[in-house]
Chain A
């Protein structure tokens, strides 16, 4: 597998190098990053993939608000979905970033037990997505670009969350993002857990930190269903390939944001600087593109995701 993944990445690297539109230092940064990923992917084992998961969930890993205070100026938090409740698992607000006003949203986990409970471990209720949607509307009206940070084990699986329409809220949040004509940059900074993550990740640029994970189901959940044993989580994680290198290779993310050696928690200031840089360069690229064109490209980007084959007409006919 590593051999094939390597080929894909080399191919991508080759295309990037030959792509006339991509130029300047930022692109060489991108190339260097891809190169580094290439070096990594050729040797990723089950245990190494599991290490990414452990780092993504590390209790000292910087959370959304740690980045907010380091990256933004004049941040004001906006509370409440204007309909039913305030969801502390989702932070939204406005801030100054690189000389412009941006709208911001991000999942927030808690650092100590008390805060973890208050933030519901970063697991959003439908109200959290509706709050994000309200801020998206506000951003669209004022032409503020959107920055969305993703760090959630998943949308909250509770009775009230279901009754308040968890599935519909996730669907409608994505639908709204596909309609916006302002630049949107998303970055997975820890756990990108399934529907809870994609609800606010339908962006023009999807970035991912080096040690973050992005997955359709938690390795534990996958192991419980397919292996019928949650203890097989390391195997399940390796099979799901939720690490940044694999996500890049599959075309799910556009770039990997490097972290300080040892993981973001070893040096949150440096991690924030690297993240800020990546967000800024992505926003600058996107702001050259007109709104309707941004929207068209954003939809085309997601429309193209997936891998499938075409059966021969004989096979198709034999089945009928």
Chain B
């Protein structure tokens, strides 16, 4: 019988397993491929190898979707206050300042008028990098203003969400942003307006339990976590065995909570098509 092939040399030269807790943001968490910024940007921040959808910053997302030069930001001047004088390990204003410096954004949402495939609309785009995309008073107010701007101009609203939920540092006022945004969407709908909700990874807790679930058409990006309660908390609280696709877009569409799962590369033409269907010019 032949001896086994000696593989010790391969083992000897194996790279050390990464000890980094946080791998490089441009390393695909699914397949391990690594890219330069420009490679990913060119590819809509989708892994060309395995189709993993990386997180997209709000401004980048607007660049991907809006016709060039059409985006006019609204309510950029709004900033969070600290109504509870909230202090955990750091004071809330310090966290806000750090987030603003790190992201260049005033809060976790950017709103404004735009056109997608030449159809005028209103965009409301969340940014997960700003305190986990959490919804406090500013996010609620800006989203409500986006609804009002859409209603006033008689154009559809396109909302793109990425959020861990309500912003704890604003206590009960952050919970009140759920009914606030719900009322804003209902006012928009009463005016005859339409809302297209795009859920990106992750859309959870307070945001999925309010405006994100109220789109006339609800679509999601592949692989995104869309859940009221995330898998870790469900596991800890209930000790249930979680299905492999727990809370993912693919599970949500099977259970009837989504109209479509649309890959990011197809998102712009898809939104364009939906906007044309809801456009009030032809009526």
Contacts and interface: CB of A to CB of B under 8 A. Distances in A.
Interface in A164-199: 164-168, 170-172, 174-175, 178-179, 194-195, 197-199
A21 interface: no
A222 interface: yes
B98 interface: no
Count class of interface residues, chain A: 35 or more
Nearest to B85: A1
Interface string A272-304: 000000000000000000000000001100110
Contacts of B185: 175
Interface in A213-233: 214-217, 222, 225-227
Nearest to A313: B77
B93 to A, nearest CB: 11
A65 to B, nearest CB: 25
Given A170-B228, A171-B214, A241 B171 contact: yes
B246 A175 contact: no
A25 interface: no
Given A226-B168, A240-B172, A174 B81 contact: no
Interface stretch (B21-29, B61-69, B237-245, B275-283): B237-245
A104 to B, nearest CB: 20
Contacts of B136: 306
A171 B228 CA distance: 11
B130 interface: no
Interface string B68-87: 00000000111111011111
Interface string B142-179: 00100000000000000000000010101111111111
A158 B89 contact: no
Count class of interface residues, chain B: 35 or more
A251 to B, nearest CB: 9
A100 interface: no
Contact of B81 (A246, A307, A320): A307
Contact of B208 (A163, A171, A235, A311): A171
B106 A171 contact: no
Nearest to B87: A239
Given A298-B183, A299-B183, 7 more contacts: A175-B186, A194-B206, A198-B178, A201-B179, A217-B168, A239-B171, A247-B172
Which 3 pairs of residues, A with B, have the shortest CB-CB distance? A306-B137, A167-B208, A157-B229
20 contacts: A1-B85, A159-B246, A161-B228, A162-B229, A178-B186, A216-B174, A222-B168, A240-B172, A252-B176, A303-B144, A303-B184, A305-B176, A306-B137, A306-B140, A308-B81, A309-B78, A309-B79, A309-B81, A311-B78, A311-B79
